[in-house]
């Protein structure tokens, strides 16, 4: 009987551990000092949502929407893999987006899953109808407190275009010396982002390593590298600051371990 009780306790503990690791939302907050940010835009709050992969956080995504609303975002950026190619349920992801656009201007770029589905037109159209600005190798102006920056978005290299070619195309629209905030899906191309003089870039893709070892970090990236760089947090390369989300959902590997679903909140600070 005692052995059976221990087994039951063990099973309950494992189920609880799995549930918390995959459903208990975490908010990570960063202050990011940027020397080219217009002084009037000091304090701009950016909330990043990445790699949702159709994960469900409450009925009609109510838990995710409520948590984002608590952060009082000035803008919301969606950095790819809003949907999942293995379980495509667009309406589930759109339920979250409907909540986001009511809070703040919302911007989106494709991840590799949007591209591999070959449903970009359908996804872009649905997002645009909700009021999302879809950036497909292009740039747009953003004005806040009388300051102006360019928000730039590139697609995923799975399209067959190189990161450099996509950046060249998008940045062609940006005035010289304008502060640039880039949205891209993949964190590993940071050398390209730095080469093109990007001030701050928001990325995701690697899911924080999916399985994280406490005190050590993420276990593996999409290329199969063990304990790789560029998995989470704020990483500076040259003058470019990269903010990397661990994401919210899962894809082929169905579990996050010591790696709770993450909402990233960054406050941009104008550095003298």
Find the DSSP H helices in the chain.
2-23, 62-70, 90-101, 112-117, 120-130, 163-171, 190-195
- Per-residue pLDDT of 13-56, as tens digits, reads 676 656 677 889 999 999 999 999 999 999 999 999 999 999 99
Contact 76, 105 (CB under 8 A): yes
Which DSSP category does 224 fall into?
Answer: -
The residue ranges of every structural domain in the chain are 2-270
- Per-residue pLDDT of 87-107, as tens digits, reads 899 999 999 999 999 999 999
Q: Calculate mean pLDDT across residues 229-247.
A: 94
Beta bridge partner(s), residue 267: 31, 45
- Per-residue pLDDT of 171-228, as tens digits, reads 998 999 999 999 999 999 999 999 999 999 999 998 888 877 787 887 777 667 777 7
pLDDT on residue 185: 98
Checking if the pLDDT of 264 tops 70, the result is yes
Q: What is the CATH number of domain 2-270?
A: 3.60.21.10
């Amino acid at each position: 009987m005692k052995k059976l009780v221990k087994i039951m306790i063990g099973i309950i503990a494992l189920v609880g551990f799995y549930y918390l690791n995959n459903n208990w939302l975490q908010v990570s907050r960063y202050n990011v000092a940027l020397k080219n940010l217009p002084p009037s835009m000091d304090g701009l709050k950016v909330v990043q949502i990445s790699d949702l992969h159709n994960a469900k956080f409450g009925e009609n995504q109510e838990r995710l929407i409520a948590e984002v609303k608590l952060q009082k975002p000035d803008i919301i950026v969606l950095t790819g893999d809003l949907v999942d190619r293995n379980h495509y349920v667009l309406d589930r992801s759109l339920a979250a987006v409907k909540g986001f656009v009511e809070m703040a201007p919302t911007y989106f770029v494709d991840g590799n899953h949007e591209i591999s589905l070959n449903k970009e037109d359908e996804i872009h159209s649905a997002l645009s109808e909700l009021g999302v600005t879809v950036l497909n190798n292009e740039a747009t102006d953003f004005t806040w407190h009388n300051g102006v920056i360019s928000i730039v978005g590139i697609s995923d290299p799975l399209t067959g275009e190189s990161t450099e070619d996509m950046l060249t195309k998008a940045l062609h629209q940006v005035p010289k010396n304008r502060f640039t905030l880039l949205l891209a899906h993949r964190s590993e191309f940071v050398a390209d982002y730095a080469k093109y003089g990007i001030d701050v870039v928001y990325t995701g893709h690697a899911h924080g390593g999916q399985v994280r070892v406490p005190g050590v970090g993420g276990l593996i990236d999409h290329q199969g590298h063990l304990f790789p760089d560029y998995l989470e947090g704020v990483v500076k390369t040259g003058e470019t600051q990269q903010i990397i989300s661990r994401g919210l959902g899962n894809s082929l590997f169905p579990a996050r371990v010591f790696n709770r679903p993450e909402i990233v909140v960054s406050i941009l600070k104008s550095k003298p």
